[in-house]
Amino acid sequence: MKITDLSVRRFRYISNTVRDSEGHGHPGPDHEAVQSVLTIHTDEGVEGYFFGSPPQDLISSLVKPYITGEDPFYRERIWHNLKERQRLNMATMSDRLLNAVDLALWDLAGRALNLPVHKLLGATRDKVPAYASTMCGDDIEGGLGTPEDYANFAAWCIERGYPAFKLHTWQPPYEGAPDVKQDIAACAAVREVYGPDAHLMLDPYHYYSRLEALYLAKGLEKLDYYWMEEPMDEHSMSSYVWLCEQTSLPICGPETAEGKMYTRAEWIKAGACDLVRGGVGDLGGLTPLMKVAHLAESFGMRMEVHGGGPGNFHALCAMGIPGQYYERGLLHPFIDYEQPSPWLNRLDDPMDEEGFVHISQLPGLGQDINWEYIEANLVE
C-alpha cells in the first residue's frame, strides 16, 4: 500500500462558541463557522481522516511532497522525517500540522486492519473516568463569572456523574484578571460542593510570577487539591523546579512548552514536575505522545493527557501506567456538550452515569462520520 494523495475539505457548520482577544473559548451567539477534514488517500482505496486540518496549501507544500509514495504503515519514519523538516519551517510547520498527519495515518492503519487504534497500540482498558474541565472564567450572568457560579456548575457536574472537576479560572482580557485570591475563592467554593474526598484540579493564568504561583499553591494545599497546571511561563523550567521544592501540591507539566518528548525528559530529570503532561496537539501526534507515556512509565510517573479528542483517548486506553483521567470539555453551563458535532453521528467520548467515558470499537480513531452532512455543506 502506498500514499497517493492528501486532500483537505472545508465545510460550514453553526457554532455557539466564540473566542476572546486572548484566544479563550466562551459561549456566544450562533454563527457560521468552518471545519476541515484531512484525508490521506492510498492506492488500495483505504483512507484515513483527521478533523481540524491545516489549510490545503500547507499540506500540499509542506507534507505532500515528502510522504506521497510512502507506505502509510511507516508512521514512525514519516513522523521523524516531518519533525526534522520543522527546523527550517517553524513559522508554518507547526506541531498541530504534524498531529493532523500522524492521526490521519493512525486512523488509516486502523481502518485497513479493522481495529480501533488503542488495540493497535496494545490496549489496557476500554473506559476511563472523566473529569469535568471548564471553560475559562467569564463575566456572563449565570455562567462562570463568580466563585458561586463555579460552585453551582460543580453541583450540576456531580449530578451528571463527573467524579472529579478542574477549573480554568479568569484570564485576560477580563477586567480584574488574573487574581490569585479570586482563583483560590473559586477553588474553595468548588471544594465545598464536591466534598473533602473528590479530586479537584486547577489550570490558572499561565504567567503568574513565582511568588504569585507559590501563594496559589499554598492555598490549594489547604484545600487538598490534586494538582495544578501551568501557573507560570513554562520556558522557565527553573521556576518550576523552585515551585516543586516549595510546595506539597503536585505540579503537572509541561503542557504547552515546545520540544516534544525531549522537553518532558528534561523536566523529569530536573524535578520540575510531579506529573507529566502531554497531548497530541502539543507534541505533534499520537506517535510522540506514546513516547512520553513510556518515558513517564520508566520513571514510575503518571502522564495526565492534555485535552480530549480521539487521539488522546486512544492513548489513555493503551498506557502502561495509565493517566488517571480523561479531560472532558471544555464545559460551560450554557454549552450542551452532549450534542455531537454535526459532522459526527455520535460523540467521540460518551460518558455513562458513573463518570466513565467509553472508547469506540469502530476501526481507526473510531469516529462515526456523517459524510452526508459534510458533502452538503462544502465550502468551494
Same fold yes or no, 3-114+368-376 and 119-358: no
Please give the CATH superfamily to which domain 3-114+368-376 belongs.
Answer: Enolase-like, N-terminal domain (3.30.390.10)
Whether CATH 2.40.50.1040 fits 119-358: no
User: HSE (CB half, 13 Å, CA atoms) of 365?
Assistant: 29
Q: Is the dihedral of CA 97, 103, 106, 111 positive or negative?
A: negative
Alpha-carbon torsion (3, 79, 311, 54), positive or negative? negative
**Could you tell me whether strands 48-51 and 276-278 are parallel, antiparallel, or unpaired per DSSP bridges?**
unpaired
Q: Which residues contact 84 (CB under 8 A, 6 or more apart)?
A: none
The one-digit pLDDT tens for each residue of the chain (380 residues) are 999 999 999 999 999 999 999 999 999 999 999 999 999 999 999 999 999 999 999 999 999 999 999 999 999 999 999 999 999 988 899 999 999 999 999 999 999 999 999 999 999 999 999 999 999 999 999 999 999 999 999 999 999 999 999 999 999 999 999 999 999 999 999 999 999 999 999 999 999 999 999 999 999 999 999 999 999 999 999 999 999 999 999 999 999 999 999 999 999 999 999 999 999 999 999 999 999 999 999 999 999 999 999 999 999 999 988 889 999 999 999 999 999 999 999 999 999 999 999 999 999 999 999 999 999 999 98
In the prediction, which pLDDT does 322 show?
82
If you compute the radius of gyration of the chain from its CA atoms, what whole number of angstroms results? Answer: 21
Residue 55 preceded by cis peptide, ω within 30: no
Q: At what angle do helices 237-246 and 210-222 cross, to 10 degrees?
A: 30
Strand bridging mode 356-358 / 326-331 = unpaired
Domain map (residue ranges) of the chain: 3-114+368-376, 119-358
